[in-house]
Structure 1
Amino acid sequence: MNTSGKILAAVAAGIAAGAILGILFAPDKGSETRRKINEQGKKLADDVKDKFSKGKEKFSQFKEDIEKTVKEKVEEFA
């Protein structure tokens, strides 16, 4: 993972931790707190899936670009 990816992951983890701590220390009933934590967990899971999907797409495009470049260079030297 490159540096910007690590920074983005750390920021996302910090936001999630802050949200969870905020919910835990809020003066709500237990059932309301559990509901909020469940919602935040689902949102975080969706965000992670989305970022993973985008990263996978970028990697696939990068791989295709490399394969194309290698093929062109092989044909150029052949």
Structure 2
Amino acid sequence: MKTSKSIIGVLAGVAVGTALGVLFAPDKGTNTRKKIAEKSKDAKNKAMARLNELADEVSEKYNSIVTKGEELAQEGKEDIQKGKENIKEDIKTVRDQMNK
């Protein structure tokens, strides 16, 4: 949540600063509009690149969590199987002792 707010804040600051810089620079209206369009495109491209990076990071973390979950599930299955085998052995031992 903090990261997304920070990114939005930075992008907003860049956009406002760029717009103000271009608007107050002495130049023709057509040139000013072109500069605004170019700067907007640059800001959009930077934002998209960062969003792609974040998506990749989230994807990596998700895959890591899924893998770890699968490993834990397998370990749990193995522990349950061992527990069943131990219980069967204990029952056999108790039966053998009762039959003596």
Give me the whole-angstrom Cα distance separating, in 1, the residues matched to 2:59 and 2:69. 15
How many correspondences in the alignment?
77
Give me the whole-angstrom Cα distance separating, in 1, the residues matched to 2:54 and 2:10. 17
User: Which structure 2 residues correspond to residues 1-78 of structure 1 after superposition, within 5 A?
Assistant: 2-78=1-77
Task: Determine which structure has the larger helix proportion and give its number.
Answer: 2
Give the TM-score normalised by structure 1.
0.89
Give me the whole-angstrom Cα distance separating, in 1, the residues matched to 2:47 and 2:7. 11
1:11-50 deviations in whole A, cap 9, x for unaligned? 2210211111111122211011011001101101110110
Give the TM-score normalised by structure 2.
0.71
1:73 maps to amino acid: L
Q: Counterpart of 1:76 in 2: which secondary structure?
A: helix
* RMSD over aligned Cα atoms: 1.1
Alignment correspondent of 2:98: none
Give me the whole-angstrom Cα distance separating, in 1, the residues matched to 2:55 and 2:35. 30
Give me the whole-angstrom Cα distance separating, in 1, the residues matched to 2:7 and 2:49. 13
Runs of 5+ in structure 2 lacking a partner?
78-100
Moved over 3 A (4+): none
1:46 maps to amino acid: N
